[in-house]
Structure 1
């Protein structure tokens, strides 16, 4: 016989649910252990265990499989986590929404941005926005594209600018701009300054890569570019941050990919040298991403709409940086 899930009165659950239990569960699910969750919550381990037990008793479902050597969400736990993340994100935004009820547009805008985002159009929109609404404030979190998209889905940020591999149907996407990647080396590299280079000259040299430079990720075309160059399979440097990839290339650790428009000044200053291939280079799109389910304050809404309007009135060819 198939066991039936216990009957739960929805109205009673809504009245009696302790939101702190949901918050504890979200942190627990993301931490992967009672110990780590307790540290993040600044609680003692027994308190976290008790909170999990209370939540499981309230719902009549086992939420986490904590058998020896295993810590994983059950099917019920996965369903609850998806809903709890949204609830937690909405609650976090309540204070901001209440604070921003003023005649003037004010409030805080929090944006998540991938490390390599260099876009003059975005800079102009931010400048125009602040000039028109000086009482507003802004923070920019530089994180991985994957984490940026997760932050949008969880309503932790106003919107994000990031690379996208697969689009979540619950989010909205607009291509911000397109950038072209090339391969570069620094002054200490033996190929620096040589104008007669061919692809054969690159074979076997060490590679500096982005952390998401893999076939299954957003930079898969860049991965294929490295394969065309037949660089050594050994990776001599890796980072998720563009500035650190650039630093390692300049320092001579190896040959690595960078967006051409980002390093144009470095090329002029003799800090980097582009190596083959010089044609048919990978093009990567950076997207504006937002969550239509997020309740935004007036500043967030105004900046997002200003950015969307600017994108809609600027041809994509003018937002492509080669």
Structure 2
């Protein structure tokens, strides 16, 4: 098949073909894609064939027992996600054109993001622009970055295991993790413990607690403490990790500044190490390719200004 001239492809391409292709890749099945789109299977197959003819490349290799997206198909899918992320925002951008700053700010955050800097900007922005609205979703850090990359969120606050070159990153604060246990645990209330006292204990943790992921410093500390290798409970939510620790399922890591109140209330007990707790940076993640409405633009400007104007030492939460 011959490649189409670029300018002709842009003007002749049926954008519905891209939508159909994107759904086929996500469903990994012509049949399931047809059900999702409310179309008949031959229509989806024909759309895929027409798109492959237009771009001059085989996009999907499929047969009775296999389904494989080609290299060209993978690249096209990634572009489709960005295209439809932009298109989905058009009604919001148009609706929010008013003299007063108003609009919807969509924020994706990891579950243990607790930051006075962010909270202060949120409060001040609402007072200045009360007609603006917020949607704040809680996800894993990987999902937060994915939402920002695909333009489903104005920006994100999360841990970062590996930076995406298409996104911008800025450290909003640094927190430190410690090990804790609940009232039912045999170590609760015991003082002057050493790391060796944790050897062989059962534990709970976060999904990102892995040497190759965002909480690698915590994973390395777990290895040093020689906790039982079988983690009895895992969650992406800080609230659920905390619940499992309090319930006595095992020792677990939590940010020191987040756990402070529970320690004071007798729900959690701090365990070693008491010094040199592992640091973890929380990032503001944004996508310069995302078209922002006026509310999103102003909120992000204020948040960046507050981060830049606050000394880093004041954004380090050790306790």
Query: For the superposition of Structure 1 and Structure 2, which TM-score range results when normalised by the shorter chain?
Result: over 0.9
Residue in structure 1 matching 2:23, options 21, 27, 39: 27
Q: Could you tell me how far apart the structure 1 residues matched to 2:155 and 2:31 are?
A: 32
Q: Could you tell me how far apart the structure 2 residues matched to 1:31 and 1:120 are?
A: 41
Q: Could you tell me how far apart the structure 1 residues matched to 2:35 and 2:312 are?
A: 46
Counterpart of 1:181 in structure 2 is 177
- Contact 1:229 / 1:276 at 8 angstroms: preserved in 2? no
How many residues of Structure 1 are paired with residues of Structure 2 in the alignment?
318
- Spell out the pairing of 1:1-80 with structure 2 (5 A cutoff): 6-34=2-30, 36-38=32-34, 40-41=36-37, 45-80=41-76
- TM (norm. structure 1) is 0.94
Counterpart of 2:312 in structure 1 is 316
- What is the CA deviation profile of residues 286-317 of structure 1, one whole-angstrom value per residue up to 9, with x for unaligned ones? 00011111111100000000000000100111
Q: Secondary structure at the match of 2:94?
A: helix
Residue in structure 1 matching 2:83, options 87, 102, 120: 87
Q: Could you tell me how far apart the structure 2 residues matched to 1:241 and 1:39 are?
A: 33
Q: Could you tell me how far apart the structure 1 residues matched to 2:251 and 2:28 are?
A: 37
Q: Secondary structure at the match of 1:110?
A: strand
- What is the CA deviation profile of residues 65-99 of structure 1, one whole-angstrom value per residue up to 9, with x for unaligned ones? 22454333201101211221221111111111111
Q: Could you tell me how far apart the structure 1 residues matched to 2:99 and 2:300 are?
A: 19
1:43 Cα offset (Å): 5.0
Counterpart of 1:146 in structure 2 is 142
Unaligned runs of 5+ in 2: none
Q: Secondary structure at the match of 2:189?
A: coil
Residue in structure 1 matching 2:105, options 82, 106, 109: 109
- Contact 2:175 / 2:280 at 8 angstroms: preserved in 1? yes
Q: Could you tell me how far apart the structure 1 residues matched to 2:144 and 2:251 are?
A: 27
Residue in structure 2 matching 1:300, options 296, 299, 302: 296
Q: Could you tell me how far apart the structure 2 residues matched to 1:42 and 1:184 are?
A: 51
Counterpart of 1:283 in structure 2 is 279
- Contact 2:3 / 2:55 at 8 angstroms: preserved in 1? no
Q: Secondary structure at the match of 2:157?
A: strand
Cα distance change, pair 320–30 in 1 and its aligned pair in 2 (3 A):
farther
1:164 Cα offset (Å): 0.8
Q: Could you tell me how far apart the structure 1 residues matched to 2:55 and 2:259 are?
A: 54
Q: Could you tell me how far apart the structure 2 residues matched to 1:39 and 1:213 are?
A: 38
When the two chains are superposed, the root-mean-square deviation of aligned CA atoms in Å is: 1.7
- What is the CA deviation profile of residues 240-260 of structure 1, one whole-angstrom value per residue up to 9, with x for unaligned ones? 111111111111111110101
- Contact 1:171 / 1:290 at 8 angstroms: preserved in 2? yes
Unaligned runs of 5+ in 1: none
- TM (norm. structure 2) is 0.94
